[in-house]
Amino acid sequence: MLLETALYLLTVLLLPAIAGMAVGGFGVVMVARRAEADRQQAVRRAQVGQAIAAPIALIASFLLETGPVGLPLAERWHVLPYAVAVAAIVGAIVSRMRSPWWVQWSIVAAILGGLGWKFVVFAASNPYIQTGLFGSIVLVGLLWSAVARDACSVGMAMMAAIVFAGLGVLMILANFASLGVMAFAVAAALAGLGMVSGVLNLREVARLRAAASAQPVAVSADPAGAACPAEAACELVPWTAAAATTLAAIACVLALCGHAYNYGEVRPVHWAAILLSPFFALLVCKPCLRGAKPIVGVAWRAGLCLVVVLATIINAVGRGSAAEEASDGAAGSDPMMEMLEESK
């Protein structure tokens, strides 16, 4: 039994996570290997890799879990690989565009929201639920785009990983464990991508500081060396609004799928709280992190996001336990009533 479980997790969780991390991390490695003057095109390609890393992990995990699915769909939730593939294509194309963040967000949110409203229909869906899916993709995509603009690539990847891990736990609580494992695969891929980006960003910081120390005239007055000598160059591959909105849309679809097949005590507010947890962290952290080191910002943002997710999971577990106790109490016998019945 233990060997089968380990083999299952290796196949459905670890291998897809490695595939997604490799796709996203390869571009960052290629950027780090190039000279600063030759990085522009490499950064564009790496941003495409960031946009498709999570979708690749999710699609690979789905196919390894359920096998290929054809049309017509045997079950409604089997629309997931098709929806995620479309999201990856849209996010990759728009990430290549040289346009302001709000333009990228508008394009991706409109396309993915419209397609989701029309085609991503799960059990017990109705026009109100479909409209809610469209609105959540637009809103969560906007908020995650704001987070991507404020946080560095490492912080964005880590917070997204925490969100997908939290969604995976909620799916297990909703008795949809197979979908939860797929969400864990996405979380692992994003966490790996964040660690790769973090290591390479730190190497870039060290390289720039060494170059600055070799040219004393060009160094700003900063004896502690707390700030990066060239702040823009320290961030090798920043997240685009298109990639952040694509990731948000996938998270919204997964949350709706988990809610549609919820056989536990997970409430809509639990899904919403986890989807919005990066924005909560942004609201708290933004006023108090001005001028802080990037690693401090990553730690604070990811930590606060984790606190929100853990609090949500604890609340969901508590509701489930209370519901089980209430059902057990209702099903159990009352000793006083039995005594009264016997005395008659």
Per-residue pLDDT of the chain (344 residues; tens, 9 = 90+): 788 888 888 889 999 999 999 999 998 898 888 777 677 888 888 999 999 999 999 999 999 998 888 878 888 899 999 999 999 999 999 998 888 999 999 999 999 999 999 898 887 778 888 899 999 999 999 999 988 888 888 889 999 999 999 999 999 999 999 999 999 999 999 999 999 988 888 888 777 778 777 776 444 444 333 344 444 446 788 899 999 999 999 999 999 999 988 887 889 999 999 999 988 877 766 655 555 566 777 888 888 899 999 999 999 998 766 665 655 555 554 544 454 454 44
Residue type for position 326? A
Please give the pLDDT value at position 265: 81
Please give the pLDDT value at position 290: 55
- The contacts of residue 291 (CB under 8 Å, 6+ apart) are none
Helix axes 241-260, 153-173, angle to 10 degrees: 10
The model carries a pTM of 0.86
Residue the block writes with tokens 């494992």: 181
Give tens-digit pLDDT for 145-184: 988 888 888 889 999 999 999 999 999 999 999 999 999 9
Burial of 174 (0-12, 13-18, 19+ CB in 10 A): buried
Contact between 161 and 190 (Cβ < 8 Å): yes
Strands (E), the chain: none
Please give the pLDDT value at position 64: 92
Strands (E), 176-254: none
Please give the pLDDT value at position 224: 36
Closest CA to 158 of 126, 131, 192: 192
Domain limits of the chain?
2-212+230-320
Residue type for position 184? F
Residue type for position 230? A
Contact between 304 and 280 (Cβ < 8 Å): yes
